């Protein structure tokens, strides 16, 4: 009864209690030593109920996720903002057709939203440091979107609960921002998409947290190289299926593997649309690049196996072997003689 009472007190007050019991054989003597350590309840971390019994592939664990953030009434929102269902996307999938060729007016609108996306990602990236939580980064991203009269596209997209994706260490993509502080040696990908003027702009990058080991640094460097090599091949006449071979060739030569479950995609008035742009070789993507096509390339490169699995939150994709993964993404426009990186930063 004593132990039960102490456990209950611990849950209510935030007391962590260590109980030591010694018993002399044949003598009814019990020595009880209690060590009390007070920890504020708000600082305690525990596995969410729906994760109980789940076999994690790596060391990362989920933390508390706060409620969805509110949107200013003046912000134009996509069709899924209220009920979580991207109706327009689902309807488009039922009537597939040619890849959309954007008009000059649409291209200009995409330049605007992609520029805003770059500004927000640069802001988020500048916040990365030991001790900050991805929840804090998400809050800053949300506020930056509001300041640009833009909707954070991930928010409530198929019920995603936050305004950006933050993927730490073995998380491949779609990590949910939470209250876990970033630790020295982590890598974290921040994925930003804005909806502005009726169009989406999408990009992401992977950042170092403190002192990162050399192999993780090499993984991130090679991942960026994979994207850059793929972008260099984009021009009228390039087959979408050929992009995966370019990425796989470089990644495999460096001892890494390419995730196959997630791919680049067309983007514009819809968050995700045709074409599909797989990042692995010998894929069956259809279509040829033409001037006016707009799409993302976003390779996810793993230290170990390319295989992935999903956390019980139905969003967080992690490596099957728990080893690290990195990703970079840009939104691209095929021009008459090449490609324009709509989300380009000063380093591109």
Q: Of 293, 287, 286, 307, whose CA–CA distance to 336 is shortest?
A: 293
Q: At what angle do helices 214-232 and 240-253 cross, to 10 degrees?
A: 150
285 CB neighbour count, 10 Å cutoff: 17
- 265 assigned ligand-binding residue: yes
- 298 assigned ligand-binding residue: yes
- 202 assigned ligand-binding residue: yes
d(CA 64, CA 54): 17
- 279 assigned ligand-binding residue: no
- 138 assigned ligand-binding residue: no
H or E segment to which residue 87 belongs: helix 87-94
- 170 assigned ligand-binding residue: no
Residue 109: C-alpha distances to residues 23, 151, 198 (Å): 77, 15, 8
Residue 266 DSSP symbol: E
- 200 assigned ligand-binding residue: no
Answer yes or no: are the C-beta atoms of 329 and 279 closer than 8 Å. Answer: no
Beta bridge partners of 239: 288
Give the residue ranges of the annotated binding site for a divalent metal cation: 191, 202, 265, 298, 329
Give the residue ranges of the annotated binding site: 174, 191, 202, 265, 272, 298, 329
Give the residue ranges of the annotated binding site for substrate: 174, 272
């Amino acid at each position: 009864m004593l132990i039960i009472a102490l456990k209950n007190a611990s849950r209510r007050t935030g007391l962590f209690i260590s109980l030591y019991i010694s018993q002399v054989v044949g003598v009814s003597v019990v020595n009880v030593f209690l060590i009390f350590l007070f920890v504020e309840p708000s600082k305690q971390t525990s596995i969410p109920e729906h994760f109980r019994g789940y076999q994690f592939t790596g060391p990362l664990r989920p933390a508390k996720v706060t409620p969805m953030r509110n949107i200013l009434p003046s912000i134009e929102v996509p069709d899924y903002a209220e009920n979580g269902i991207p109706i327009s996307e689902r309807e488009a999938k039922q009537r597939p057709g040619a890849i959309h060729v954007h008009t000059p007016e649409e291209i200009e609108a995409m330049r605007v939203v992609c520029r805003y996306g770059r500004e927000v990602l640069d802001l988020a990236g500048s916040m990365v440091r030991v001790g900050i939580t991805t929840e804090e980064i998400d809050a800053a991203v949300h506020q930056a979107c509001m300041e640009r009269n833009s909707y954070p596209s991930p928010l409530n997209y198929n019920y995603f609960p936050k305004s950006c994706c933050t993927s730490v260490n073995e998380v491949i993509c779609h990590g949910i921002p939470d209250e876990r502080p970033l630790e020295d040696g982590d890598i974290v990908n921040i994925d930003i998409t804005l909806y502005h003027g009726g169009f989406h702009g999408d990009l992401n990058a992977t950042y170092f947290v403190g002192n990162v080991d050399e192999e993780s640094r090499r993984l991130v460097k090679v991942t960026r190289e994979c994207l850059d090599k793929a972008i260099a091949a984009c021009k009228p006449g390039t087959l979408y299926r050929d992009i995966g071979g370019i990425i796989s060739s470089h990644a495999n030569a460096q001892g890494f593997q390419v995730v196959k479950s997630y791919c680049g995609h067309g983007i514009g008035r819809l968050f995700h649309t045709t074409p599909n742009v797989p990042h692995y070789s010998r894929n069956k993507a259809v279509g040829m690049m033409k001037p006016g096509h707009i799409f993302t390339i976003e390779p996810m490169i793993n230290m170990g196996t390319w295989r992935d699995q999903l956390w019980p939150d139905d969003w967080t994709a992690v490596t099957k072997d728990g080893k690290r993964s990195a990703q970079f993404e840009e939104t691209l426009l095929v021009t008459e003689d090449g490609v324009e990186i709509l989300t380009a930063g000063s380093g591109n």
